[in-house]
Structure 1
Amino acid sequence: MRGKFSLSLLAQAVNNFEVDNMCERIEKWLGAIKNSVARADLLSSTKCKNQLKKAVANPAVDFINMVLAPNLPEIVIQSSVKTARDHSISERIRAQIATNQEIDWGAYSYFTNPLVPVEKDHEYYRSPSARASLGRHHVFTIEYDDIEIIPPSVQFGWCRSPGKTPAQSVMGRLHRDLSQKFADYFGATVVWSGNKSCHIHIVFRTELIPTLPLNANLHDGFKRHWEKLKAIVSQHTGYDNPDPACAAPSQYRRLPYGRHQNGNPQLVLWEQYRERAAQGVSASFFETEHFIDSAYVHKIQNSRTAVAVGG
Structure 2
Amino acid sequence: MNNMTSENQTGGAGFFLLGLSEDSELQPFLFGLFLTIYLVTVLGNLLIILAISSDSHLHSPMYFFLSNLSFTDICFTTTTIPRMLVNIQTQSKSISYTGCLTQACFILIFAGLENFLLAAMAYDRYVAICHPLRYTVIMNPHLCGLLILLSLLISMVDALLHSLMLLRLSFCADLDIPHFFCELAQVIKLACSNTLINKILVYLVTTILGGVPLFGIIFSYVKIVSSILRMPSAGGIYKAFSTCGSHLSVVFLFYGTAFGVYISSAVTHSSKMIAVASVLYTVVPPMMNPFIYSLRNRDMKVALKKLLWRTPCLS
Q: How high is the TM-score relative to the length of structure 2?
A: 0.30
Q: Which of the two has greater helix per residue?
A: 2
Per residue, is there more strand in 1 or in 2? 1
Larger RCO: Structure 1 or Structure 2 (Cα < 8 Å, ≥ 6 residues apart)?
A: 2
After TM superposition, the score normalised by the length of structure 1 is 0.30
Give the greater-gyration-radius structure (CA). 2
